[in-house]
């Protein structure tokens, strides 16, 4: 009975969040695609492989759910007690498992319905961003639909029982807020609550994402202040650059691994651990990488190319071939946009988005060279990458 009620509540929630009639076909089709991706992810890892992060999360959340039936007071104590410091990787899993256990209370411990709830969260974040683009930049609505609702690998990894639906939903929600903030000064209290919740989710689940996102939002806020107070472009550029450097130094305090004296060693150590635990033919390797800033700087171009376009079509096979085809599309769109870029001027929002993508695309391959894991992590910025790469083709062909 509880499972039937949870399904009805889920359907009612999706119906309540629906947009106006002119956008409903995109809303329902995007939601259906995201739900199918969540079910496909569960089938592939829980049923077909019987292993993976989603299986681990399910087992741990099930144990907590069963504890709630034996002793609800002990369950609440476990829910409110952290077993690991927040900067450790285990703390991220612990935080998500607790969230999943709450969903299990709602769904009667049902993995599949809980995955649909998480898929809805990820989708709603994406839809919030798409609706803000439609509101303020309607010429790019088609590009937004393709990028944030139907990009295959990104939608697959941001659905189902994983941390990623919460992460990607929060990222898109924050991006949508940034668009609205740039065009308006007045905001509803609900939007500030969502911003705080989004940053908190990123802080607990992916510390590097909250660092890069906070930096981007800080630069955007500073740029808007300068836009109102400074008229000369030269001064505005210098002050913006100074603000970006200050924000970059500030966010290094988010986590000890980002501290200025720890960053090269953190990147190197994580790279070595992941590379040694992975099969050689399923990894990117940077054999000359050392735990120094000079070595890190020398490897940044290789990391950026890998983050944007690898694995190439001949490097992997199996399910990862979908990602290869996407990377090929990104490469073609990149050269097309580069060839025509001199005809266009990019807005402040687009430039900040490019910076956000560049930082993540550069460092993630260096930190996580495993191709399978990298494909999952890239889902955080690939929708934004596709959207940026579609701007010039959209202007030329669909305006």
* Helical pair 382-397 and 348-367, crossing angle rounded to 10 deg: 140
Is 349 inside a domain boundary? yes
- From residue 131, how far is each of 135, 149, 189, 326, 361 by CA, in Å? 6, 12, 19, 24, 26
For the chain, the domain total comes to 1
Q: Please give the backbone phi and psi of residue 184, each rounded to the nearest 5 degrees, phi first.
A: -140, 160
Is 220 inside a domain boundary? yes
Distance between CA atoms of 174 and 197, rounded to whole angstroms? 10
Provide the greatest CA pair distance for the chain: 68
Burial class (CB in 10 A: 0-12, 13-18, 19+), 350: middle
Is 51 inside a domain boundary? no
Is 251 inside a domain boundary? yes
Range of the domain at 239: 23-46+120-397
Q: What would the pLDDT profile of 278-310 be if each residue is shown by its tens digit?
A: 776 677 778 788 888 888 888 888 889 988 988
Q: Could you tell me the pTM of the whole model?
A: 0.91
Q: What is the model's pLDDT at position 83?
A: 74
> Which of the 8 DSSP states describes residue 283?
B
Q: Please give the backbone phi and psi of residue 283, each rounded to the nearest 5 degrees, phi first.
A: -135, 155
> Which of the 8 DSSP states describes residue 249?
H
Per residue of the chain (399 residues), what is the pLDDT tens digit?
788 888 899 999 999 988 888 899 999 999 999 999 999 999 999 888 888 889 999 999 898 888 887 788 888 888 877 776 665 667 788 889 999 999 999 998 899 999 999 999 999 999 999 999 999 999 899 999 999 999 999 999 999 999 999 999 999 999 999 999 888 766 677 778 888 888 888 888 888 888 899 889 888 888 888 777 776 777 677 777 777 777 777 777 767 777 777 888 888 888 888 888 777 667 777 878 888 888 888 888 888 998 898 877 777 777 778 878 888 899 999 999 888 887 777 888 888 999 999 999 999 988 888 887 888 899 999 999 999 999 888 887 765
Is 182 inside a domain boundary? yes
- End-to-end Cα distance, the chain: 51
Is 5 inside a domain boundary? no
The token pair that represents 40 in the structure block? 């496909």
Is 52 inside a domain boundary? no
Is 169 inside a domain boundary? yes
């Amino acid at each position: 009975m509880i499972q039937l009620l949870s399904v009805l509540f889920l359907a009612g929630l999706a119906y309540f969040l629906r947009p106006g009639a002119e956008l409903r076909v995109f809303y329902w089709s995007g939601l259906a695609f995201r739900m199918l991706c969540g079910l496909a992810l569960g089938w592939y890892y829980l049923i077909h492989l019987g292993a993976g992060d989603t299986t681990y999360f399910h087992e741990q959340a099930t144990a907590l759910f069963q504890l709630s039936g034996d002793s609800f007071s002990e369950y609440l104590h476990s829910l409110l007690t952290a077993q690991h410091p927040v900067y450790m990787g285990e703390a991220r899993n612990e935080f998500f498992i607790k969230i999943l256990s709450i969903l299990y209370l709602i769904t009667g411990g049902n993995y599949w319905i809980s995955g649909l709830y998480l898929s809805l969260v990820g989708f709603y974040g994406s839809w919030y961003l798409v609706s803000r683009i439609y509101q303020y930049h309607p010429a790019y609505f088609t590009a937004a639909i393709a990028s944030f609702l139907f990009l295959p690998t990104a939608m697959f990894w941001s659905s189902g029982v994983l941390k990623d639906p919460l992460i990607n939903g929060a990222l898109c929600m924050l991006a949508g807020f940034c668009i609205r903030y740039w065009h308006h000064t007045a905001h509803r209290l609900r939007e500030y609550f969502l911003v705080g919740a989004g940053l908190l989710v990123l802080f607990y689940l992916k510390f590097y994402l909250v660092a890069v996102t906070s930096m981007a939002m800080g630069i955007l806020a500073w740029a808007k202040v300068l836009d109102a107070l400074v008229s000369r472009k030269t001064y505005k550029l210098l002050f913006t650059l100074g603000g970006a450097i200050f924000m970059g130094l500030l966010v290094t305090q988010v986590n000890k691994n980002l501290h200025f004296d720890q960053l090269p060693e953190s990147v190197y150590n994580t790279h070595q651990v992941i590379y040694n635990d992975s099969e050689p033919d399923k990894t990117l390797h940077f054999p000359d990488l050392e735990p120094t800033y000079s070595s890190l700087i020398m490897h940044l171009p290789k990391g950026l190319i890998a983050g944007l376009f690898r694995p190439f079509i001949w490097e992997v096979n199996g399910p990862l071939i979908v990602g290869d085809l996407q990377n090929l599309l990104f490469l073609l769109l990149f050269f097309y946009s580069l060839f025509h870029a001199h005809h266009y001027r990019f807005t402040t929002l687009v430039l900040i988005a490019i910076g956000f993508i560049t930082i993540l695309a550069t460092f993630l391959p260096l930190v996580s060279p495993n191709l399978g894991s990298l494909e999952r992590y890239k889902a955080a910025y690939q929708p934004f990458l596709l959207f940026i790469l579609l701007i010039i083709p959209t202007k030329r062909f669909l305006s």
